[in-house]
Amino acid sequence: MNLAFSDEQNELRRTVRDFLEKNSPETEVRRLMETAEGYDPDVWHQLAAELGIAGLAVPEEYGGAGCGFVELGIVLEEAGRALLCAPLLSTVVLAASTLLELGDEGACADYLPGIADGTTLATLALTESTGRWNDPDAVTCTASPSGGTGGGADTGGWTVSGRKSFVPDGQTAALLLVVARTDAGLSVFAVAGDVPQVRREPRATLDQTRRQADLTFTAAPARLLGTDGAAWPALERVLDLAAIAVAAEQVGAASRVLDMAVDYAKTRVQFGRPIGAFQAIKHKLADLHLAVESARSAAYHGLWAAAESPLELPAAASLAKACCGDAFVTAATENIQVHGGIGFTWEHPAHLYLKRAHSSRQLFGNAAHHRQRLAQVLLAELPETPALPA
Amino acid sequence: MPNPAAPVSDRPAEGRSEFQARVHEWFTANAPRKGSPEDFSAVHIVSAATAEEYRAQEQHAISVTRTWQRRLFDAGLAGRSWRPEYGGHGAPDWQDEVVIEEQARWGVSTKMFAVGLEMVPAVLFRHGTHEQRATFLPPILRGEHSWCQLLSEPGAGSDLANVQTRATPVDGGGWSVTGQKVWTSNAGCSEYALLVARTGSREEGRAGLSCFLLEMAQPGVDIRPLRQMSGAYHFNEVFLDDVHVPENGLIGAPGEGWAVLRTMLASERAAIGGGTSARSATQLVGLARTLGCDGDPVVRDLLAQAAIRERTLDLLRARIAAGHAVAAAGPTTKLLYSEHARLSADAATTILGMAATVVDDEVSAPWIERLLFAPGLRLGGGTDEIQRNAIAERGLGLPR
């Protein structure tokens, strides 16, 4: 296991941080929160096409840079820090990973180059009304062959019907990767976002920096990706990668709010001293430091496992998501407490991070879910003779 | 088949996994057998009805540790990172980690020698003279000298700068030391001690402190065991009455004691926070399985929480070793370690249920021992609160 970053990876971090400081300051985040699209197409184009962010983890044969998940994780950590409003999680993590994990070479060749150069926005439509990510039984959307060859190549020969909820960037994605049930089992279908058989209803989100939509499919033309009925194992890996991606983002954001709280504690004076001189504040911030550094360790390990160690991926993903989600919520909550009244206002950015924290904590399974999953792994790995303390 | 007694030779360009494989090979051939003089399974320091009984257990443990340390030394596995002129091998630090990890795997340990193996070299390399290093370090590696610390006093706990024990220069060279120390582990089985004493006035505070190397077996050193909450007599009060320290026993210059102490305490924190964790998360899983409650989601949540704490601490240590900039790394890992120990013992009591209320049960007894040891981990090497102050002030830059 190698947790050290290379010079190139450190350089990537500096480049992305500089770019986001210029292009995603708080004023921009607040402006985009109020727009219908929820992101800035120009900034996305620069990130995707000029900095090559969208294709970082896409293989070169499909138009990407062929780097690993570690590089993508560095970008996500910085994006989390800046609360970047962009379709990074939906397009680059969820959709690209789904295409790659399904292993459908034709679909990869057709869709990944557009994702890698930033022209295609895409997402994964998995969750339905229950909002459960990791439960194949919760999928009720259906797909059936559209019959004969009448559909032609454009329609792909299938139709999808049913309703999806909580779909990240579901209102803007041009390419929807929809999980639906066929006679053979769970499968993934490519559906165009702008066809009349798809109704898109944006949700009012707690975290205005990340959009969701409900999608209703009424015999929408669809193309089967990969093998009919065999999608779930691939989707489980996608969810693990997505959990690690969000964990990296959470660490970046948690680290940012800790910095914010520390800076404020050094300058805010009450009772004639900076409040950071009081032990009540010192110890609170020291505890946040423990939480953030522990979370960062779990997230970096997750990135390493995603890039290098498929066997360890499920446990690494659960470790990262269980740890980072709660660390970010704690840090965002205590940041407001350290700031006092000003931290409770709309004008102060503290609430933006709290909302991102609570919202991203539920994505791809919350901490309680991932702890149960981790326990399952631990029990499965336990040697036959129970170990007792020496 | 290699000769089992052959030492592990130095190969300067070797990578970690190759070195690890050779160390593993040596352990496979040489790990202590049951009934041998270095059989750690016979080492048992839990509690004792009397201080004498405890002292006998402690003497046995230290003698096993000495024999084992000597075996490591003869095998070329002691002091891998120490310079050759002081008995070491001049290898990178990670080779010491490999040896410690391998020891944990075989249930053997040199942790009773932690002061000698960690803190004495940290202090002498930074503040000592070549002569002091050449005199004091090699016998530690050979398992001949055990060391303890004479730091805390009744009036100087967290506020260590308030030390009142006095060291006065004597005619003909050296120092005379008088005072009272407390919370000293291994006082009764150590040849030497690291001592902090006041050479200046009370008003000088930190600037009046100096650190010394003191020989324990001499007139004027009176060791009185203290009984701790678990029933063990691990700690001692040490009364010093006109105890002699020769000229070369002063570390650095008079008045430099605070800087030496800082080095010593940082090394102690790193030793506590950076050592191999007891694998309590795995052991908790085993406990739940043994008791048949591993299907209970509440128990499973406790198991996962323990695993998360343990794994993230291991990963944090790996990041620190890989050169990541982690603010206040020593206090951070020490605090995480003490929390893990406390919360894991607490989780065990939930899993044990009523079995946690008796100490004559072989399943529960080791966990109760940990439960009663955990409060000490939160105090030794600087309390949790002192660690939080250090993180906030030195790590995050908050005002004092």
CATH number of the domain at B314, please. 1.20.140.10
For residue B28, give the DSSP letter. H
Domain-embedded: residue B216: yes
Q: Which of B301, B312, B369 sits opposite A323 (nearest CB)?
A: B312
Q: Is the same domain home to B20 and B135?
A: yes
Residue A152: the pLDDT is: 44
Q: Is the same domain home to B211 and B294?
A: no
Average pLDDT on B56-62 reads: 89
Å between B316 CA and nearest CA of chain A: 5
Q: Which residues pair with A90 in a beta bridge?
A: none
**CB of B326 within 8 Å of any CB in chain A?**
yes
CB contact under 8 A, B396 and A289: yes
Q: Find out whether B312 and A293 touch, Cβ atoms under 8 Å.
A: no
Q: Give the active site residue among B153, B268, B310, B369.
A: B268
Domain-embedded: residue B265: no
**What's the pLDDT band for A106 if we cut at 50, 70, 90?**
very high
Domain-embedded: residue B7: no
Q: Is the same domain home to B293 and B384?
A: yes
**What's the pLDDT band for B230 if we cut at 50, 70, 90?**
confident
Confidence check: pLDDT of A153 > 50: no
Q: Is the same domain home to B286 and B221?
A: no
pLDDT in tens, A63-83: 999 998 999 999 999 999 999
Residues 6+ positions from B358 with CB-CB distance below 8 Å: B364
Domain-embedded: residue B227: yes
Q: Is the same domain home to B295 and B385?
A: yes
- Residue length of chain A: 390
Alpha-carbon gap, residue B31 to B316, rounded angstroms: 30
Q: How many domains does chain B have?
A: 3
Domain-embedded: residue B51: yes
Average pLDDT on B158-162 reads: 92
Residues 6+ positions from B389 with CB-CB distance below 8 Å: A279, A282, A283, A286
Q: Is the same domain home to B156 and B127?
A: no
pLDDT in tens, A41-53: 999 999 998 999 9
CATH number of the domain at B232, please. 2.40.110.10
The domain boundary, picked from B141, B158, B187, lies at B141
ipTM > 0.85, yes or no: yes
Q: Which of A293, A372, A386 sits opposite B290 (nearest CB)?
A: A386
Q: State which amino acid sits at residue B376.
A: G
Residue A150: the pLDDT is: 45
In the predicted model, what is the mean pLDDT of chain B? 91
Å between A326 CA and nearest CA of chain B: 12
Domain-embedded: residue B325: yes
Diameter over CA atoms, chain B: 73
**What's the pLDDT band for A228 if we cut at 50, 70, 90?**
very high
Å between A254 CA and nearest CA of chain B: 15
Q: Is the same domain home to B48 and B135?
A: yes
**What's the pLDDT band for B268 if we cut at 50, 70, 90?**
confident
**CB of B16 within 8 Å of any CB in chain A?**
no
With tokens 């559906």, the residue in question is A191
pLDDT in tens, A124-141: 999 999 999 999 999 999
Q: Is the same domain home to B173 and B244?
A: yes
- Report the 3 state secondary structure along chain A: CCCCCCHHHHHHHHHHHHHHHHHCCHHHHHHHHCCCCCCCHHHHHHHHHHCCCCCCCCCHHHCCCCCCHHHHHHHHHHHHHCCCCCCHHHHHHHHHHHHHHHCCHHHHHHHHHHHHCCCCCEEEECCCCCCCCCCHHHCCCEEEECCCCCCHHHHCEEEEEEEEEEEECCCCCCEEEEEEEECCEEEEEEEECCCCCEEEEECCCCCCCCCEEEEEEEEEEEEEECCCCECHHHHHHHHHHHHHHHHHHHHHHHHHHHHHHHHHHHHCEECCEEHHHCHHHHHHHHHHHHHHHHHHHHHHHHHHHHHHCHHHHHHHHHHHHHHHHHHHHHHHHHHHHHHHHHHHCCCCCHHHHHHHHHHHHHCCCCHHHHHHHHHHHHHHHCCCCCCCCC
Q: Is the same domain home to B181 and B82?
A: no
The domain boundary, picked from B141, B159, B176, lies at B141
Nearest Cα neighbor of B344 from B270, B286, B392, B258 is: B286
Q: Which residues pair with A217 in a beta bridge?
A: A162, A198
CB contact under 8 A, A300 and B396: no
Residue B184 class from Cβ within 10 Å (0-12 exposed, 13-18 middle, 19+ buried)?
A: buried
Alpha-carbon gap, residue A311 to A230, rounded angstroms: 20
**What's the pLDDT band for A303 if we cut at 50, 70, 90?**
very high
Q: Is the same domain home to B114 and B31?
A: yes
Q: Is the same domain home to B327 and B281?
A: yes
Structural domains of chain A, with CATH: 7-116 (1.10.540.10), 122-230 (2.40.110.10), 233-381 (1.20.140.10)
The domain boundary, picked from B141, B157, B192, lies at B141
CB contact under 8 A, B308 and A374: yes
Range B36-40, long-range pairs (CB < 8 A, 24+ positions): B37/B63, B37/B64, B37/B67, B38/B64, B38/B67, B38/B68, B38/B71, B38/B108, B39/B64, B40/B64, B40/B68, B40/B107, B40/B108, B40/B109
For residue B88, give the DSSP letter. S
Quick check: is B118 catalytic? no
Residue of chain A nearest B285, judged by CA positions: A379
Q: Which of B278, B326, B388 sits opposite A282 (nearest CB)?
A: B388
Three-state SS at B238: strand
Contacts of residue A322 in chain B, CB cutoff 8 Å? 304, 308
Confidence check: pLDDT of B31 > 90: no
Residue of chain B nearest A317, judged by CA positions: B308
Pairing verdict, β B147-150 and A273-274: unpaired
Å between B340 CA and nearest CA of chain A: 12
Q: Is the same domain home to B132 and B161?
A: no
Q: How many CB atoms lie within 10 A of CB A155?
A: 17
Residue B154 class from Cβ within 10 Å (0-12 exposed, 13-18 middle, 19+ buried)?
A: exposed
Q: How many CB atoms lie within 10 A of CB B385?
A: 16
**CB of B379 within 8 Å of any CB in chain A?**
no
Contacts of residue A275 in chain B, CB cutoff 8 Å? none
Q: How many CB atoms lie within 10 A of CB A345?
A: 11
Structural domain including B128 reads: 16-141
CB contact under 8 A, A375 and B304: yes
